[in-house]
Amino acid sequence: MLDVDPYAALQKLRPVGSFTVTSTDFDDGGPLARPQWSAAAGGVDRSPQLSWSGFPERTRSFAVTCLDPDAPSGSGWWHWAVANLPVTTTSLEAGAGAAGGPPLPAGSLVLRNEDGERGFGGAAPPRGTGMHRYLFVVHALDVPSLELDPATSPAILGSRCFFHGLARGILTGTATRD
């Protein structure tokens, strides 16, 4: 587990509570499994299995995001953004929402990632850019759903999570191609 909040380095977020997020595919602070890598980098673009617990009782829905704050873009790289997960959802299977994969709960909304795809885009850190962190964040929200256009960017989802967030759980994976 990292000693500092990796999200704090990217931006100033309103302090909220935290809760536990785990995965059967990788350990917090450890390397992402090969399926969580981009197909262009030898993986299969499969989102990891995620489970969460300990969120506030007032939670009404969840959003899940994956951001690489170490991407050489000046603004990070959004790999995944899912909004409007019902409060009864406390886990996602690997590959959730992908074609041929396990479905997401009814009413969920998958936004476009930085590659322009609606789904999980796996790790592909450019050579020579060092170790990258992939922040899988589950946001516990105080509303049953967010009114979002399907063309909304993950950054706008992040803003809505800022204003409606009760707590967030963070699980960090790593990858490098140096």
pLDDT digits (tens, 9 = 90+) for 58-104: 999 999 999 999 999 888 999 999 999 999 999 999 999 998 999 99
Choice between 15 and 119, residue whose per-residue pLDDT is larger:
119
Residues 6+ apart with CB under 8 A from 54: 19, 20, 169
Round the average pLDDT of the chain to a whole number and report it.
93
Separation between Cα atoms, residue 171 and residue 133, nearest integer Å: 10
Q: Which residues contact 114 (CB under 8 A, 6 or more apart)?
A: 77, 78, 79, 121
Q: Give the per-residue SS3 of the chain.
A: CCCCCHHHHHCCCCCCEECEEECCCCCCCCECCHHHECHHHCCCCCCCCEEEECCCCCCCEEEEEEEECCCCCCCCEEEEEEEEEECCCCEECCCCCCCCCCCCCCCCEECECCCCCECCCCECCCCCCCCEEEEEEEEEECCCCCCCCCCCCHHHHHHHHHHHEEEEEEEEEEECCC
- Residues whose CB is less than 8 angstroms from the CB of residue 101 and which lie 6 or more positions away in sequence, other chains included: 46, 93, 94, 95
- Name the nearest CA neighbour of 21 among 125, 111, 91: 91
Tokens for 126? 């450019």
Residue 156 confidence (pLDDT): 96
Tell me the pLDDT tens digit for each residue of 149-171: 999 999 999 999 999 999 999 99
Q: Residue for token digits 């590659």?
A: 115
Residues 39-53, mean pLDDT to the nearest whole number = 97
pLDDT of residue 1: 46
- The CATH number of 6-175 is 3.90.280.10
In this predicted model, what pLDDT tens digit does every residue of 106-146 receive, in sequence order? 999 999 999 999 999 999 999 999 999 999 999 999 999 99
Is pLDDT of 11 > 80? no
Alpha carbons 163 and 178: distance in angstroms, whole number: 38
pLDDT at 7: 52
Q: How far apart are CA 87 and CA 29, in angstroms?
A: 27
Say if residue 172's pLDDT is above 60. Answer: yes
**% of residues, the chain, pLDDT over 90:** 89
